[in-house]
Amino acid sequence: MKKDISFDPIEGVSVAVAPAPDQALSPEGLPLWQVYLLNQNDFPLQNVIVNAHGYGEQADGEKVRTSTLRYIFEEVPPRSAIPVEPLDPALFHLNNQYWVSYYLGPRIFDKKFIFVPDSIVPDNFSHIPLLDRAGILHS
């Protein structure tokens, strides 16, 4: 049963959003952004699952929810950043949630990373060493 599973807190794992490195554009002509999973630990992460979706309200008050996408990575090497998905700026007004789960030996680790509406803006940039560029880091 779910209550019998111990979910330990995540340490050394983050999600970052940064402008796409190849200057890609959305269909509306806006720059695309890239979501990354960062492993800042000295050990690899095994059997990583990332569930991604957006939810919130449109300007007219209509509730909206994007499709849930699931990404599976057999291993995320130590001290590395891997791309998860591109992120269209048209979704920045929503909560963008990335639920990360992975194993270390027999233990499961699990955390939700939520970028709140309108938080993905250049004013919130910081330097992300694993990417060696500016973006928004959620730890």
Which CATH number belongs to the domain containing residue 129 in this structure? Answer: 2.60.40
pTM: 0.90
Query: Residue 117 is part of which domain span?
Result: 2-138
Angle at Cα 116 formed by Cα 115 and Cα 121, nearest 5°?
Answer: 75
Q: Determine the average pLDDT of the residues in 80-90.
A: 94
Give the dihedral sign, CA 39/53/73/127: negative
Residue 33 confidence (pLDDT) above 80: yes
Structurally, the chain folds into a number of domains equal to 1
Residue with tokens 């995540």: 10
Q: How confident is the model at residue 2 (pLDDT cuts 50, 70, 90)?
A: low
